[in-house]
A and B are shown apart, each in its own frame.
Chain A
Amino acid sequence: MLLGPALFISAVLFTLGVLGVLMRRNVIVIFMCVELMLNAVNLTFVALAQNLGVGGQVFVFFVMAVAAAEAAVGLAIILAVYRHKQSVSLQNMNLLKDG
């Protein structure tokens, strides 16, 4: 009976994550918004696991493992970029843009 509210909250959280990615320029904040989207999807998995069996909870486990790996590698990339550019703003990451 909590499926509808859970899916609604999940949809709103995912949209807020997308909005954050679109409206911010700080790479670290954008990265946090990606984590927010992953969490919104996790909520969907757990809500559906209540009706469809514990397989959904197992999948959330894998999403968390992938998110941890992604955070470690992503933050290492941000550190490497910061060392080159002394900035984490997307405006300064325009190597592929002409002019």
Chain B
Amino acid sequence: MTGTVFWIFGVIAMGSALLCITRKNPIASALWLVVTLFALAALFVLLDAQFIAVLQVLVYAGAIMVLFLFVIMLLNLGRPGPSDIKGPLGLGVAVLLAAALLFLLQPLTQTTLRSAITLPPGSVPALQQQQGIVGSVANSLFSAYLIPFEIASVLLLAAIVGAVVLAKRKL
């Protein structure tokens, strides 16, 4: 049952990603990418990462994609015009390279993890039962990963300042 639902959302994610990269209109592309992000959030729920799924909807589908749509509409790129997809030669090379990449990534999908390093099945849900769904992530975030967390906050501050400096017409 879980497997069927997983594949349904996986097919939605892959299909809308394909539509995203083939739509001529950037706004249509962005909206299909939002569909992909929502389908990925559903996959995260099925993989016992409910907190990450909520973050995915809030941060990616909510904040980042709104920023993209805002810029597309600010630059008035939604109007019909010539397609920006490359010609037959460029398209052929692109498809060939992508097929080669998929061929190289294919063996990874048969990964089997050694039992010495894997947790027993059901241990992540058990941890979430014990510490709470947010708590299980927060406990490692604020202990083992505390310094990277602080560095991420500095990175976000630098990004805010950088974005303002770059987008300003005159300093």
B-contacting residues of A (Cβ < 8 Å)?
1-9, 11-20, 22-26, 28-29, 31-33, 35-36, 39, 42-43, 46-55, 57-58, 60-62, 64-73, 75-80, 82-83, 88-89
A79 in contact with B47 given A24-B86, A39-B40, A52-B113 (CB within 8 Å): no
- When the two chains form their complex, are residues B119 and A13 in contact, meaning their CB atoms are under 8 A apart? no
- When the two chains form their complex, are residues B3 and A2 in contact, meaning their CB atoms are under 8 A apart? yes
Decide if the interface of chain B is mainly helix, strand, loop or mixed. helix
Q: How many residues of B contact A (CB 8 A)?
A: 84
A51 in contact with B119 given A28-B71, A43-B40, A71-B67 (CB within 8 Å): yes
When chains A and B are docked, how far (Å) is the Cα of A31 from the Cα of B84? 14
Chain B residues, CB < 8 A from A3: 111, 113
Decide if the interface of chain A is mainly helix, strand, loop or mixed. helix
**What are the 3 closest A-B residue pairs judged by CB atoms, nearest first?**
A69-B159, A20-B21, A22-B94
When chains A and B are docked, how far (Å) is the Cα of A42 from the Cα of B33? 15
When chains A and B are docked, how far (Å) is the Cα of A32 from the Cα of B158? 22
- Contacts A22-B94, A26-B77, A31-B68 supplied; 10 other A-B pairs, CB < 8 Å: A12-B14, A12-B17, A13-B13, A22-B93, A26-B84, A32-B20, A46-B47, A68-B64, A78-B71, A88-B75
A55 in contact with B140 given A15-B105, A72-B67, A76-B167 (CB within 8 Å): yes
- When the two chains form their complex, are residues A61 and B113 in contact, meaning their CB atoms are under 8 A apart? no
The one of B63, B106, B124 that contacts A53, using a Cβ cutoff of 8 Å: B124
